[in-house]
A and B are shown apart, each in its own frame.
Chain A
Protein backbone atom coordinates (compact mmCIF):
# COMPACT_ATOMS: atom_id res chain seq x y z
CA UNK A 1 0.00 0.00 0.00
CA UNK A 2 2.83 2.39 0.74
CA UNK A 3 4.14 2.14 -2.82
CA UNK A 4 0.73 2.86 -4.34
CA UNK A 5 1.30 5.87 -6.58
CA UNK A 6 -2.37 6.88 -6.83
CA UNK A 7 -2.83 6.95 -3.06
CA UNK A 8 0.39 8.89 -2.52
CA UNK A 9 -0.48 11.54 -5.09
CA UNK A 10 -4.05 11.80 -3.81
CA UNK A 11 -2.80 12.14 -0.25
CA UNK A 12 -0.40 14.87 -1.25
CA UNK A 13 -3.30 16.71 -2.87
CA UNK A 14 -5.77 16.16 -0.04
CA UNK A 15 -3.72 16.60 3.12
CA UNK A 16 -2.87 20.31 2.63
CA UNK A 17 -6.54 20.88 1.90
CA UNK A 18 -7.53 19.09 5.09
CA UNK A 19 -5.07 21.11 7.15
CA UNK A 20 -6.33 24.32 5.58
CA UNK A 21 -9.91 23.26 6.27
CA UNK A 22 -9.00 22.56 9.90
CA UNK A 23 -7.59 26.08 10.22
CA UNK A 24 -10.67 27.48 8.50
CA UNK A 25 -12.97 25.64 10.89
CA UNK A 26 -10.84 26.84 13.81
CA UNK A 27 -10.75 30.52 12.93
CA UNK A 28 -14.11 30.70 11.23
CA UNK A 29 -15.85 28.84 14.07
CA UNK A 30 -17.14 32.11 15.47
CA UNK A 31 -18.99 32.88 12.24
CA UNK A 32 -19.98 29.51 10.82
CA UNK A 33 -20.32 26.02 12.19
CA UNK A 34 -17.31 24.48 13.88
CA UNK A 35 -14.85 25.44 16.53
CA UNK A 36 -11.94 24.11 18.47
CA UNK A 37 -13.12 20.54 18.88
CA UNK A 38 -13.98 20.00 15.22
CA UNK A 39 -10.83 21.74 14.02
CA UNK A 40 -8.69 19.61 16.32
CA UNK A 41 -10.27 16.41 15.06
CA UNK A 42 -9.88 17.42 11.41
CA UNK A 43 -6.23 18.33 11.91
CA UNK A 44 -5.64 15.01 13.67
CA UNK A 45 -7.45 13.21 10.84
CA UNK A 46 -5.10 14.81 8.32
CA UNK A 47 -2.07 13.47 10.21
CA UNK A 48 -3.74 10.06 10.60
CA UNK A 49 -4.34 10.02 6.84
CA UNK A 50 -0.69 10.87 6.30
CA UNK A 51 0.31 8.03 8.60
CA UNK A 52 -1.97 5.58 6.78
CA UNK A 53 -0.47 6.37 3.38
CA UNK A 54 3.18 7.08 4.19
CA UNK A 55 3.54 4.83 7.22
CA UNK A 56 3.58 5.48 10.95
CA UNK A 57 7.34 6.18 11.19
CA UNK A 58 7.00 9.04 8.68
CA UNK A 59 4.17 10.57 10.73
CA UNK A 60 6.23 10.13 13.90
CA UNK A 61 9.11 11.98 12.26
CA UNK A 62 6.71 14.76 11.27
CA UNK A 63 5.16 15.04 14.73
CA UNK A 64 7.25 13.25 17.38
CA UNK A 65 5.57 11.70 20.42
CA UNK A 66 7.04 14.31 22.73
CA UNK A 67 5.34 17.08 20.74
CA UNK A 68 2.00 15.25 20.69
CA UNK A 69 2.15 14.55 24.42
CA UNK A 70 2.96 18.13 25.25
CA UNK A 71 0.06 19.24 23.01
CA UNK A 72 -2.21 17.18 25.28
CA UNK A 73 -1.28 19.21 28.33
CA UNK A 74 -0.63 22.51 26.57
CA UNK A 75 -4.25 22.85 25.42
CA UNK A 76 -5.74 22.46 28.90
CA UNK A 77 -3.01 24.71 30.26
CA UNK A 78 -3.85 27.40 27.69
CA UNK A 79 -7.55 27.17 28.54
CA UNK A 80 -6.91 27.35 32.27
CA UNK A 81 -4.50 30.27 31.85
CA UNK A 82 -7.15 32.25 29.97
CA UNK A 83 -9.25 31.78 33.11
CA UNK A 84 -6.35 32.86 35.31
CA UNK A 85 -5.71 35.88 33.09
CA UNK A 86 -9.28 36.97 33.78
CA UNK A 87 -8.60 36.54 37.50
CA UNK A 88 -5.36 38.55 37.36
CA UNK A 89 -6.98 41.37 35.42
CA UNK A 90 -9.63 41.77 38.09
CA UNK A 91 -12.56 39.64 36.99
CA UNK A 92 -13.82 36.23 37.99
CA UNK A 93 -12.23 33.01 36.78
CA UNK A 94 -12.90 32.65 33.02
CA UNK A 95 -14.26 36.19 32.79
CA UNK A 96 -13.42 37.43 29.32
CA UNK A 97 -14.78 40.95 29.75
CA UNK A 98 -11.60 42.12 31.41
CA UNK A 99 -9.22 40.83 28.73
CA UNK A 100 -9.58 44.01 26.70
CA UNK A 101 -10.71 47.56 27.30
CA UNK A 102 -13.79 46.90 25.18
CA UNK A 103 -15.82 44.11 26.76
CA UNK A 104 -17.08 42.66 23.46
CA UNK A 105 -13.55 42.61 22.11
CA UNK A 106 -12.42 40.93 25.33
CA UNK A 107 -15.04 38.24 24.80
CA UNK A 108 -13.80 37.62 21.27
CA UNK A 109 -10.22 37.39 22.47
CA UNK A 110 -11.12 35.00 25.30
CA UNK A 111 -13.16 32.75 23.02
CA UNK A 112 -10.34 32.67 20.48
CA UNK A 113 -7.75 31.47 22.97
CA UNK A 114 -10.11 29.06 24.65
CA UNK A 115 -10.99 27.47 21.31
CA UNK A 116 -7.29 27.26 20.48
CA UNK A 117 -6.72 25.38 23.74
CA UNK A 118 -9.56 22.95 22.97
CA UNK A 119 -8.20 22.33 19.46
CA UNK A 120 -4.67 21.64 20.70
CA UNK A 121 -5.77 19.18 23.38
CA UNK A 122 -8.26 17.37 21.14
CA UNK A 123 -5.89 16.89 18.22
CA UNK A 124 -3.09 15.87 20.58
CA UNK A 125 -5.30 13.27 22.26
CA UNK A 126 -6.63 11.84 18.99
CA UNK A 127 -3.14 11.59 17.54
CA UNK A 128 -1.65 10.05 20.67
CA UNK A 129 -4.36 7.40 20.83
CA UNK A 130 -3.84 6.64 17.14
CA UNK A 131 -0.06 6.42 17.57
CA UNK A 132 -0.44 4.05 20.52
CA UNK A 133 -2.93 1.77 18.72
CA UNK A 134 -1.12 1.78 15.41
CA UNK A 135 2.29 1.37 17.03
CA UNK A 136 1.37 -1.90 18.73
CA UNK A 137 2.10 -5.14 17.02
CA UNK A 138 -0.06 -8.20 17.08
CA UNK A 139 0.54 -10.26 20.23
CA UNK A 140 2.19 -13.59 19.45
Chain B
Protein backbone atom coordinates (compact mmCIF):
# COMPACT_ATOMS: atom_id res chain seq x y z
CA UNK B 1 0.00 0.00 0.00
CA UNK B 2 2.90 2.36 0.77
CA UNK B 3 4.32 1.63 -2.69
CA UNK B 4 0.96 2.48 -4.20
CA UNK B 5 0.76 5.78 -2.30
CA UNK B 6 4.18 6.84 -3.58
CA UNK B 7 3.21 5.78 -7.10
CA UNK B 8 -0.05 7.76 -6.92
CA UNK B 9 1.78 10.86 -5.68
CA UNK B 10 4.42 10.76 -8.42
CA UNK B 11 2.31 9.55 -11.33
CA UNK B 12 1.17 12.35 -13.64
CA UNK B 13 -1.18 10.33 -15.84
CA UNK B 14 -4.55 10.69 -14.14
CA UNK B 15 -5.98 7.51 -15.65
CA UNK B 16 -3.21 5.50 -13.99
CA UNK B 17 -3.85 7.37 -10.73
CA UNK B 18 -7.55 6.44 -10.80
CA UNK B 19 -6.74 2.78 -11.43
CA UNK B 20 -4.18 2.76 -8.63
CA UNK B 21 -6.62 4.39 -6.22
CA UNK B 22 -9.07 1.62 -7.01
CA UNK B 23 -6.38 -0.98 -6.25
CA UNK B 24 -5.61 0.87 -3.03
CA UNK B 25 -9.28 0.68 -2.04
CA UNK B 26 -9.34 -3.07 -2.62
CA UNK B 27 -6.20 -3.50 -0.52
CA UNK B 28 -7.79 -1.34 2.18
CA UNK B 29 -10.87 -3.57 2.05
CA UNK B 30 -8.73 -6.67 2.61
CA UNK B 31 -7.03 -4.94 5.55
CA UNK B 32 -10.47 -4.20 7.01
CA UNK B 33 -11.49 -7.84 6.55
CA UNK B 34 -8.33 -8.84 8.39
CA UNK B 35 -9.39 -6.48 11.20
CA UNK B 36 -12.80 -8.24 11.33
CA UNK B 37 -14.65 -5.13 10.16
CA UNK B 38 -16.52 -6.89 7.37
CA UNK B 39 -19.27 -4.29 7.11
CA UNK B 40 -16.76 -1.49 6.58
CA UNK B 41 -14.74 -3.65 4.16
CA UNK B 42 -17.85 -4.19 2.07
CA UNK B 43 -18.51 -0.46 1.94
CA UNK B 44 -14.90 0.29 1.06
CA UNK B 45 -14.88 -2.26 -1.77
CA UNK B 46 -18.17 -1.15 -3.26
CA UNK B 47 -17.89 2.63 -2.80
CA UNK B 48 -14.14 3.20 -2.84
CA UNK B 49 -13.16 0.72 -5.50
CA UNK B 50 -16.41 0.54 -7.44
CA UNK B 51 -18.61 3.60 -7.67
CA UNK B 52 -15.99 6.28 -7.06
CA UNK B 53 -13.70 4.74 -9.70
CA UNK B 54 -16.53 4.93 -12.22
CA UNK B 55 -17.28 8.53 -11.21
CA UNK B 56 -13.61 9.53 -11.43
CA UNK B 57 -13.31 7.91 -14.86
CA UNK B 58 -16.44 9.78 -15.92
CA UNK B 59 -14.90 13.01 -14.70
CA UNK B 60 -11.66 12.15 -16.50
CA UNK B 61 -13.63 11.84 -19.70
CA UNK B 62 -14.68 15.48 -19.24
CA UNK B 63 -11.20 16.77 -18.46
CA UNK B 64 -7.74 16.10 -19.77
CA UNK B 65 -5.84 12.96 -18.85
CA UNK B 66 -2.62 14.58 -17.73
CA UNK B 67 -2.09 16.41 -14.48
CA UNK B 68 -1.36 20.12 -14.97
CA UNK B 69 2.05 21.39 -13.97
CA UNK B 70 1.94 22.76 -10.41
CA UNK B 71 1.85 26.56 -10.29
CA UNK B 72 3.44 26.96 -6.86
CA UNK B 73 6.58 25.63 -5.31
CA UNK B 74 5.70 22.72 -3.00
CA UNK B 75 8.09 23.81 -0.21
CA UNK B 76 5.73 25.40 2.32
CA UNK B 77 2.84 22.90 1.86
CA UNK B 78 5.36 20.07 2.22
CA UNK B 79 6.63 21.46 5.54
CA UNK B 80 3.05 21.97 6.78
CA UNK B 81 1.97 18.45 5.90
CA UNK B 82 5.09 16.89 7.41
CA UNK B 83 4.51 18.88 10.62
CA UNK B 84 0.85 17.82 10.78
CA UNK B 85 1.84 14.21 10.10
CA UNK B 86 4.40 14.29 12.91
CA UNK B 87 1.86 15.85 15.29
CA UNK B 88 -0.70 13.15 14.45
CA UNK B 89 1.90 10.41 14.89
CA UNK B 90 2.81 11.89 18.26
CA UNK B 91 -0.91 11.84 19.10
CA UNK B 92 -1.15 8.11 18.39
CA UNK B 93 1.49 7.46 21.08
CA UNK B 94 -1.12 8.41 23.69
CA UNK B 95 -3.66 5.87 22.42
CA UNK B 96 -4.13 2.58 24.26
CA UNK B 97 -2.44 -0.44 22.71
CA UNK B 98 -4.25 -2.16 19.83
CA UNK B 99 -7.06 -4.48 21.06
CA UNK B 100 -6.32 -3.60 24.68
CA UNK B 101 -9.37 -4.91 26.59
CA UNK B 102 -9.10 -2.16 29.23
CA UNK B 103 -9.20 0.68 26.70
CA UNK B 104 -12.01 3.20 27.41
CA UNK B 105 -13.80 2.26 24.18
CA UNK B 106 -14.22 -1.32 25.38
CA UNK B 107 -15.44 -0.49 28.87
CA UNK B 108 -18.17 2.11 28.26
CA UNK B 109 -21.23 0.88 26.32
CA UNK B 110 -19.63 -1.86 24.24
CA UNK B 111 -20.11 -4.68 26.78
CA UNK B 112 -23.83 -3.92 26.87
CA UNK B 113 -24.05 -3.88 23.06
CA UNK B 114 -22.15 -7.13 22.77
CA UNK B 115 -24.01 -9.03 25.48
CA UNK B 116 -27.53 -7.60 25.30
CA UNK B 117 -28.13 -6.55 21.71
CA UNK B 118 -29.39 -9.98 20.61
CA UNK B 119 -31.77 -10.10 23.55
CA UNK B 120 -32.98 -6.52 23.16
CA UNK B 121 -33.24 -6.22 19.39
CA UNK B 122 -33.36 -9.81 18.12
CA UNK B 123 -30.68 -8.94 15.57
CA UNK B 124 -27.56 -11.15 15.64
CA UNK B 125 -25.36 -8.67 13.75
CA UNK B 126 -24.23 -6.23 16.43
CA UNK B 127 -23.15 -3.67 13.84
CA UNK B 128 -26.65 -3.50 12.41
CA UNK B 129 -28.18 -3.37 15.88
CA UNK B 130 -25.97 -0.46 16.93
CA UNK B 131 -26.39 1.44 13.66
CA UNK B 132 -30.11 1.11 13.23
CA UNK B 133 -31.37 0.85 16.78
CA UNK B 134 -29.07 2.17 19.52
CA UNK B 135 -27.68 4.90 17.29
CA UNK B 136 -30.81 5.42 15.22
CA UNK B 137 -30.55 9.20 15.38
CA UNK B 138 -27.00 9.14 14.04
CA UNK B 139 -27.98 6.93 11.13
CA UNK B 140 -30.93 9.18 10.36
CA UNK B 141 -28.45 12.06 10.29
CA UNK B 142 -26.11 10.10 8.00
CA UNK B 143 -28.92 9.29 5.61
CA UNK B 144 -29.84 12.96 5.58
CA UNK B 145 -26.20 13.81 4.81
CA UNK B 146 -26.24 11.42 1.83
CA UNK B 147 -29.54 12.96 0.73
CA UNK B 148 -28.14 16.48 1.09
CA UNK B 149 -25.03 15.53 -0.88
CA UNK B 150 -27.20 14.20 -3.68
CA UNK B 151 -29.31 17.36 -3.67
CA UNK B 152 -26.12 19.47 -3.74
CA UNK B 153 -24.75 17.65 -6.77
CA UNK B 154 -28.10 17.95 -8.52
CA UNK B 155 -28.24 21.68 -7.78
CA UNK B 156 -24.69 22.27 -9.02
CA UNK B 157 -24.79 20.26 -12.22
CA UNK B 158 -28.41 20.89 -13.15
CA UNK B 159 -28.08 24.66 -13.14
CA UNK B 160 -25.07 24.46 -15.42
CA UNK B 161 -27.04 22.51 -17.97
CA UNK B 162 -29.96 24.95 -17.81
CA UNK B 163 -27.51 27.82 -18.31
CA UNK B 164 -26.17 26.21 -21.47
CA UNK B 165 -29.70 25.81 -22.77
CA UNK B 166 -30.39 29.46 -21.97
CA UNK B 167 -27.29 30.48 -23.91
CA UNK B 168 -28.41 28.45 -26.88
CA UNK B 169 -31.70 30.25 -27.04
Contact = CB atoms under 8 A, between A and B. Distances in A.
Interface of A: 25, 29-38, 41-42, 44-45, 48, 52, 69, 72-73, 75-76, 79-80, 83, 94, 96, 103-105, 107-108, 110-111, 114-115, 117-118, 121-122, 124-126, 128-130, 132-134, 136-139
Task: Give the interface SS of chain A, mostly helix, strand, loop or mixed.
Answer: helix
Contacts of A118: 139, 142-143
B153 A132 contact: yes
27 contacts: A30-B124, A30-B128, A33-B42, A37-B43, A41-B51, A42-B46, A44-B51, A48-B54, A52-B54, A75-B147, A80-B140, A94-B137, A96-B136, A104-B121, A107-B122, A108-B122, A108-B123, A110-B132, A110-B133, A111-B123, A111-B129, A117-B143, A118-B143, A122-B146, A129-B55, A129-B153, A136-B157
A45 B48 CA distance: 12
Give the one of B51, B150, B151 with max A CB within 10 A. B150
A136 B127 contact: no
Chain B interface size, as a band, is 35 or more
Task: Give the interface SS of chain B, mostly helix, strand, loop or mixed.
Answer: helix
A125 B59 CA distance: 17
A118 B39 CA distance: 15
B58 interface: yes
B39 A34 contact: yes
Contacts of B119: 104
A125 B150 contact: yes
A96 B127 contact: no
A72 B55 contact: no
Contact of B158 (A52, A73, A94, A132): A132
A128 B153 contact: yes
Contacts, number: 138
Given A111-B132, A114-B132, A132-B157, 17 more contacts: A30-B123, A33-B41, A33-B127, A34-B42, A52-B54, A69-B154, A72-B150, A72-B151, A76-B144, A111-B123, A111-B128, A114-B139, A115-B128, A129-B55, A130-B54, A136-B62, A137-B62
Interface string B25-66: 000000000000011011100110011001100110110000
Contact of A133 (B47, B59, B125, B137): B59
Contact of A121 (B42, B143, B153): B143
Interface string B132-169: 11001101101110110111011001100100000000
A29 B128 contact: yes
B161 to A, nearest CB: 8
B116 to A, nearest CB: 11
A93 to B, nearest CB: 8
